[in-house]
Amino acid sequence: MRLLLIFIVIISVFSSGFAQEPDVKSYTTQRIVGEPPKIDGKVQDRAWEQVPWGGGDFTQRIPDDGAAPSVQTQFKILYDAKNLYVLFKNLDSEPDKIVDRMSRRDGFEGDFVEVNIDSYYDKRTAFSFTASVSGVKGDEYVSNNGNNWDSNWDPIWYLKTSINEEGWIAEMRIPLSQLRFADKPEHIWGLQITRRFFRNNERSNWQYIPQDAAGWVHLFGELRGIKGIRPQKQLEIQPYVLAKTERFQKEEGNPYATGSSSDIDFGLDAKIGITSDITLDLTVNPDFGQVEADPSQVNLSAFRLFFPEQRPFFIEGNNILTFPVSSSDNNNLFYSRRIGRKPQQTIDTDDDDLDGDGEADDDEVEEFVKAGSNSRILGAAKVTGKNKNGFSWGILESVTAIEKAEVDSLGYTREETIEPLTNYFVARAQQDINKGNTLVGGMFTATNRKIEDPRLDWLHKSAYTAGVDFTHYWLQRTYFISSKVVLSKVEGSEEAVTSTQKSSERFFQRADNRHTKLDTTRNELTGTGGTLIFGKRSGKIVYDAGFSWLSPELELNDIGFLGQTDMMTQWLWVQYRKLKPFGAFRWLRVNFNQSSSWDFGGVSTKKDFNMRTNFEFKNFWSGGAGFYLRSDAVSNADLRGGPAITYPGRFEYWAWIMTDPRKKFSMEVNPWWGFGFDNNQKTRGLWLNFVFRPSNAWNISLNPSIRSNVDEMQYVTTVSDLGQDRYIIAQIDQTTYNMSFRMTYMITPNLSIQYWGQPFASSGSYSAFKKVTTPAAENYNNRFAAVRTVYDSENDEYLIDENFDSQKDYTIENPDFNFAQFRSNMVLRWEYIPGSTLFLVWTQNRSESPGNESHSFSHLYEGLFNKKPRNTFILKYTYRFIL
């Protein structure tokens, strides 16, 4: 592996040389004398005559890197004490062919022009403002030298566009309060302007930056001539009022399922500039009712599912408050969905003491539970800042309320705590050194719970994580080295720490676990993790090689995300790319990936290799293909606390092709296949995507998929009542159907209707039951032994006969499943003035578990749409005060 890496380094250096940075352009602006221009898209104001046109010498970046663009772009920039004004003249000799598609904010459809402003002049961050020809705004906060673009940043600014005989015009007014800059007499800001010429799917830049450059912001041109302005303290307060009503299936006898409910609520969001460098984002009693639901999934693994954050308060600026432990998974010190999570305690309605007199009752009575689906966020605040010396930082503080469930039993009610009062704290800092060529940073998180109910003693009382990171670039940022180290500590009762040791992330109780030990007397657990990466980011060949580790005791899931511990991984990633057109291609990329993993006992758990290629043809069709190869793999988790089990190797391959996305109708097709080497597994699937744009205001997409999986070694259950644990596996035949439908209609650039719906169904049928015998045996068939089963339809369970003597040894529940679900929401969004919005929302949910007597497609959906759904209607009104 070392020889391979050395060979790649030598070849890449000699094949591409060192990146040559282009000459830096500059544009000199001027303070407005007299009246400022009116933002109307007509360019009739005399103020614009105070500065000359810039541009006219743009350079193509995509597809023909370095060539002259098909159309040219000119611009002017002015400023006064409160605003920056930008005018674009986007020349086009065929204005009747300009594509003025509309979309919701940040949709980036059709022709557009974009200005990036590095007002910190730190050569790492920038503020991006995009104007589509249709008048739709796009805005993003750019960080990490262009590697992160946060489109959830929604500043207040003003835009008008128009089409004329020369092309099209865009006029912007950007309040200085939406930018961040130092307090000094004269400024130099980084400046970049990008034009997309949609007909040719072409992008050109004012400051030429090659496609294979190792970065973006540090190569900007310069905006000069800004004098005498003062940083503006931003002060925006946005209260909201929300009216909500629900309609659902009425349940006879259930006092909490009367068929309807209604409520009205209030809350507040604020953005306050404490100083010119420090901003406070505040939310009190936040509501996220307009946010789409998570996509449906059926989880048959031992591990947690990761869902991306969708709530606006937590999304905006999440590029600051993040600390990924490694680059190949979702492990992170901060996972914002832990805040406001679903209450973790479940209610046992089989309580023997229903009347609370301390004595067991003889009669069983049906009980009903009223519990919230999420912990209520009382308030949350984010403070972020960056000073002129390159020191950036962010702090988040949030408190979630104590959550109680009400249980009704024949009119007698009791309350049970299902989530304690919890405080979450996150802090992140980073220092730029040597114009951003060296970065040093750290992060700290804390979770503290006020546990007063002994039934919640299984939760951690406190949890802390800390991390430090370091990155250094050299040779014009062509090469880099990066390292991270993280530390975690959780504290709580012996029950809580024992639960952590036995959780799916680590399973210390495994009988074959020789390097960690289950200790039921511990009340704290401390672990570590980290990565070390060396790589190259410029030229025809780019790569990185690294090593990461997650110690068995590491725990991040109180406020972060952690899938599995007890793992060391080495990897190598190499990409060969041709970014300029050649032959039939506009561009081509070929990736090679190799990785190996071990647990902390030195056992090799996995060796992978994959290769993939992606390309775009000159007719704007694109496609790709690839394969994945894995040797025998060892899982320490799949038997849920049982011994490690070895799986045969696996081979997968796939292909995809997409038609020209510029057309009114486009489609993408992605089939895949896979199989295990001992014929233990077969998978196949098909993913499709259809996009139809009947007009510039409509966008309709349909995304169906089907996946089939046959696996001989699917875990079923553990039988523990015979003096020795039995680990039962079986063959599963699972089919999953999924379809996502989305329709957007833009009435105006600021008024839209969007509908999203997702029917989902999954069916699993089990057969060929087996008992695990020697899970690490070299021969595949020696790892398990077949058992005889008899299905008991009356009790829906299997009678297991291990030794084939026609005598029942034990029983297991029938693991077959059928699940169908439909989720949808429709949102009317009207930004009636910049920053102030009216939402009308209709959300619908249906779920059904059809009987297991059939696993057909029609059976899965039968009855789902005959069942009364849960309908939620929301009216939300916000108004942003700018003070």
Element holding 756 (H helix, E strand)? strand 751-772
DSSP state of 783: G
List the structure tokens of 165.
């005989």
State residue 435's pLDDT score. 82
Instruction: Average the pLDDT over 258-279 and give the result.
Output: 87
Q: How many helices (H) and strands (E) does the chain have?
A: 4, 49
Alpha helices in 474-602 (DSSP H): 494-501
CA nearest neighbour of 26 among 194, 206, 205: 206
pLDDT at 769 over 80: yes
State residue 757's pLDDT score. 95
State residue 712's pLDDT score. 96
> What does the angle CA 102 – CA 750 – CA 879 come to, to the nearest 5 degrees?
160
The number of beta carbons lying within 10 Å of the beta carbon of residue 283 is 23
At 404-419, the pLDDT tens digits run 999 998 888 999 999 9
Q: Which residue has the higher pLDDT, 609 or 14?
A: 609
State residue 359's pLDDT score. 47
The number of beta carbons lying within 10 Å of the beta carbon of residue 263 is 9
List the structure tokens of 431.
């220092």
pLDDT at 481 over 80: yes
State residue 803's pLDDT score. 87
State residue 354's pLDDT score. 44
Q: How far apart are CA 436 and CA 427, in angstroms?
A: 21
State residue 21's pLDDT score. 59
At 720-757, the pLDDT tens digits run 877 789 999 999 999 999 999 999 999 999 999 999 99
State residue 296's pLDDT score. 79
pLDDT at 14 over 60: no
Residues 6+ apart with CB under 8 A from 379: 282, 283, 284, 285, 398, 399
At 51-89, the pLDDT tens digits run 999 999 999 999 999 999 999 999 999 999 999 999 999
At 143-176, the pLDDT tens digits run 889 988 988 888 899 999 999 999 999 999 999 9
Query: What percentage of the chain has pLDDT greater than the value 70?
Result: 95
CA nearest neighbour of 80 among 189, 271, 225, 233: 225
Sketch out the chain's domains with CATH numbers.
Answer: 21-227 (2.60.40.1190)
State residue 114's pLDDT score. 98
Instruction: Average the pLDDT over 213-219 and give the result.
Output: 93
Length, in residues, of the chain: 883
Rounded to the nearest integer, the mean pLDDT of the chain is: 91
Pairing, β 665-676 against β 479-491? unpaired
List the structure tokens of 743.
């329709």
Q: How far apart are CA 842 and CA 826, in angstroms?
A: 5
Q: How far apart are CA 314 and CA 493, in angstroms?
A: 31
3-state secondary structure of 858: helix
pLDDT at 9 over 60: no
Instruction: Average the pLDDT over 335-359 and give the result.
Output: 73
On the 0-12 / 13-18 / 19+ scale of CB atoms within 10 A, 299 is exposed
Phi, psi of 3 (to 5 degrees): -65, -40
Phi, psi of 42 (to 5 degrees): -110, -15
Supply the Cα-derived Rg of the chain in whole angstroms. Answer: 30
pLDDT at 264 over 90: yes
State residue 231's pLDDT score. 86
State residue 507's pLDDT score. 95
pLDDT at 518 over 80: yes
Q: How far apart are CA 150 and CA 314, in angstroms?
A: 12
pLDDT at 820 over 60: yes
Is this structure's pTM higher than 0.85?
yes
Element holding 313 (H helix, E strand)? helix 312-315
State residue 411's pLDDT score. 84
pLDDT at 20 over 70: no
Q: How confident is the model at residue 110 (pLDDT cuts 50, 70, 90)?
A: very high
Phi, psi of 850 (to 5 degrees): -60, 155
State residue 709's pLDDT score. 97
State residue 306's pLDDT score. 86
On the 0-12 / 13-18 / 19+ scale of CB atoms within 10 A, 89 is buried
pLDDT at 434 over 60: yes
State residue 1's pLDDT score. 45
3-state secondary structure of 37: coil
Q: How far apart are CA 532 and CA 514, in angstroms?
A: 27
The number of beta carbons lying within 10 Å of the beta carbon of residue 145 is 22
Q: Is 866 left (phi over 0), alpha (psi -120 to 50) or beta?
A: alpha
State residue 676's pLDDT score. 95
At 677-697, the pLDDT tens digits run 999 999 999 999 999 999 999
Q: How far apart are CA 617 and CA 587, in angstroms?
A: 7
> What does the angle CA 547 – CA 549 – CA 551 come to, to the nearest 5 degrees?
170
